[in-house]
Structure 1
Amino acid sequence: MTKDLTILLAGPRGFCAGVDRAIHIVERALEKFGKPVYVRHEIVHNKFVVDSLREKGAVFVDELDQVPDNVPVIFSAHGVPKSVPAEADRRSLTYVDATCPLVSKVHRAAERHFDREHPVVLIGHEGHPEVIGTMGQLPDGAVILVEDTEQAQTVELPRDVPLGLVTQTTLSVDDTKDVIAILKDRYDNLELPKKEDICYATTNRQTAVKLIAPKSDMVMVIGAPNSSNSKRLVEVARLNGCERSMLVQRASDINFDDLDGVATLGITAGASAPELLVEEVVEACRLRYNVTVKFETFTKEDVIFKLPASLSD
């Protein structure tokens, strides 16, 4: 006898405005310039998206020195150090910057603090492309990286000048608040951002997961293993009532034996995961269970970011 399965679909989920813009930038560049268009790093952290763009004519490389002369190149949504466009200018390469506008806002905030001779504290994960890009807006040594509460308790910072604070946009909202609270308690010269650097999409997806986690026997987050915001969703689900939470890239990755004893499955998707992959997972469940889908929508999103002027003609 086929078992019943209730699926709670979290909303919002999946693509955010920055990811949607970055993908459209690659597609529009291919239309405008023709094949091939080179992309430095994965345009967004999702294998399905990257493979789809590769099939259309995009060539993904790790560094600019892998880009031939006289071909267009796109910088990923995570942002790049200033040295990258500077090198592209030196080589007279045509380039399009697909950095998410919300990441660019963090870059500008870091620059403003530096211009006022304030040491810059960045909360983020070492080695993440966004962190590399933000730190690369300023000279070496100008940004002090704090990764977690443990580092916040031990880091030594100046006390005689204001400290500027910026954060990676895809962090756990709750974890970041804890880090900020520790830093603020230790350093009363810390200047907090006027508005949270963590982007609206990250915040909304984490809030939606907090709503479905207590009602779910398992939460499945669709996203890539190198996607910061997707991994944070798994952590948030576990911390908010659903220890059985996992990250999967797509339906073919699921071991359905893991769903033994699951009557209610919560599903969400990271900000770089297309809705097509969500539909694929739901359909895979329908093939095995009597599925009832319930939508648990926290809020609606209507944010749209314009394409760069060089592509909008």
Structure 2
Amino acid sequence: MMNEPKEVILAEPRGFCAGVDRAIEIVERALVKFGRPIYVRHEIVHNTYVVNDLKAKGAIFIEELSDVPPGSTLVFSAHGVSKAVQEEAQARGFSIFDATCPLVTKVHVEVAKLHKEGFEFIMIGHKGHPEVEGTMGQLDSGIHLVEDAADVARVAPAQTEKLAVVTQTTLSVDDAAGILAAVKARFPSVREPKQQDICYATQNRQDAVKLLSPQVDVVIVVGSPTSSNSNRLREVALKLGTPSHMVDSADELQAEWFEGRSRVGLTAGASAPEILVRQVIDRIKALGAISVRTMDGLTETVKFPLPKGLKIDGGEVAPLQHLH
């Protein structure tokens, strides 16, 4: 038996989702239309390659709005921002383009609507993640964060008649279901979203890894360490008993991961560009893989419109040189 990989099987779908596509395009178009620099609050999406590519084109990534000169053009990242950040940005007089993913905005709108009706919230998510900070920051108080089932026992809402649950869009579907079950056991009348908050892309990429993992000897996930949905893909494979590694780029692949493992599964998080997947394939081929095939899977057709004010003179620009 040879010790090197023989076949690479690509998950379908993988890589960029509609919200990431839109967010990157907002920054690229703003650069073309208004010139450099364009300021972006927080990494536009959690991917090192994408952020470095946009830095090279003239984007400046900041966390504190005090670092942005008055009169600048500012883009909010795909993860969304709190009310306080929105208000401060307006007060500072920036020209603002909001690249928040529409599926995150949907959660914000739901929180605002139910808050008016007197609801408090339990949010399932990861403490410190910018999406969670943005959603919790839609209100001054009344949103209680739970990261696991044990947290649910410690939640102390002011009342339980009007309690709703919301989630971060990029969680493990299975973990979130377990935490939601704990919420419902403790607060039986809790209100759930009509359609789950975990987004279509997170769900689809996790479903694809569930199909892929049993067919392969090792799973490689292309994604950056800060990317929540990419980390979840690696965990999904591990839970199914398949060794799994996450890499930010092909340079991070280690030959020993593939020793004695002839079939390699490969996927990418929703913020990871396809060029990185191609580079990983080339590296695995250099280690011995001969064939590459894509498994059958869903074709995603979701597209989100761009914000007003980003059309280039003379109508729409041709699509900018993109990171696919």
TM over 0.5: yes
Question: Does the CA contact (< 8 Å) of 1:18 and 1:101 recur in 2?
Answer: yes
Q: Structure 1 residues 180, 2: CA separation in 2 closer, same or farther (over 3 Å shift)?
A: closer
Match of residue 203 from structure 2: 203
Match of residue 315 from structure 2: none
Q: Deviations over 1:7-46 (max 9, x none)?
A: 1100100000000000000000001100111111100000
Paired with 1:27 and 1:294, the residues of 2 have a C-alpha distance of 32
Moved more, 84-93 or 126-135: 84-93
Question: Does the CA contact (< 8 Å) of 1:159 and 1:187 recur in 2?
Answer: no
Q: CA deviation at 1:155?
A: 2.7
Question: Does the CA contact (< 8 Å) of 2:41 and 2:76 recur in 1?
Answer: yes
Match of residue 275 from structure 1: 274
Paired with 1:235 and 1:2, the residues of 2 have a C-alpha distance of 25
Q: Structure 1 residues 142, 156: CA separation in 2 closer, same or farther (over 3 Å shift)?
A: closer
| Superposition TM-score, scaled by structure 1 size | 0.96
Paired with 2:112 and 2:5, the residues of 1 have a C-alpha distance of 55
Q: Structure 1 residues 287, 194: CA separation in 2 closer, same or farther (over 3 Å shift)?
A: same
Runs of 4+ in 1 over 3 A off after TM superposition: 1-4, 156-160
Q: CA deviation at 1:48?
A: 0.2
Paired with 1:58 and 1:233, the residues of 2 have a C-alpha distance of 29
Q: CA deviation at 1:2?
A: 8.5
Question: Does the CA contact (< 8 Å) of 1:285 and 1:291 recur in 2?
Answer: no
Coordinate RMSD, CA, aligned: 1.4
Match of residue 261 from structure 2: 262
Match of residue 114 from structure 2: 113
Q: Structure 1 residues 40, 106: CA separation in 2 closer, same or farther (over 3 Å shift)?
A: same
The DSSP-based 3-state class of the residue aligned with 2:6 is: strand
Paired with 1:252 and 1:176, the residues of 2 have a C-alpha distance of 33
Paired with 1:290 and 1:69, the residues of 2 have a C-alpha distance of 53
Say yes or no: does 1:172 pair with 2:175: no
Paired with 2:160 and 2:264, the residues of 1 have a C-alpha distance of 52
Match of residue 68 from structure 2: 67
Equivalent residue pairs, number? 311
Structure 1 segments unaligned to the other structure (5+ residues): none
Match of residue 11 from structure 1: 12
The DSSP-based 3-state class of the residue aligned with 1:59 is: strand
Structure 2 segments unaligned to the other structure (5+ residues): 313-324
Paired with 2:160 and 2:69, the residues of 1 have a C-alpha distance of 48
Q: CA deviation at 1:159?
A: 5.3
Paired with 2:37 and 2:160, the residues of 1 have a C-alpha distance of 52
Match of residue 38 from structure 2: 37
Question: Does the CA contact (< 8 Å) of 1:2 and 1:289 recur in 2?
Answer: no
Identity level (%): 49
Match of residue 318 from structure 2: none
Q: Deviations over 1:66-90 (max 9, x none)?
A: 1011211111000001111211211
Say yes or no: does 1:145 pair with 2:145: yes
The DSSP-based 3-state class of the residue aligned with 1:298 is: coil
Q: Deviations over 1:122-179 (max 9, x none)?
A: 110010000000011111x221111111212443345541211110000000000111
Counterpart amino acid of 2:192? L
Counterpart amino acid of 2:199? C
Moved more, 205-214 or 4-13: 4-13
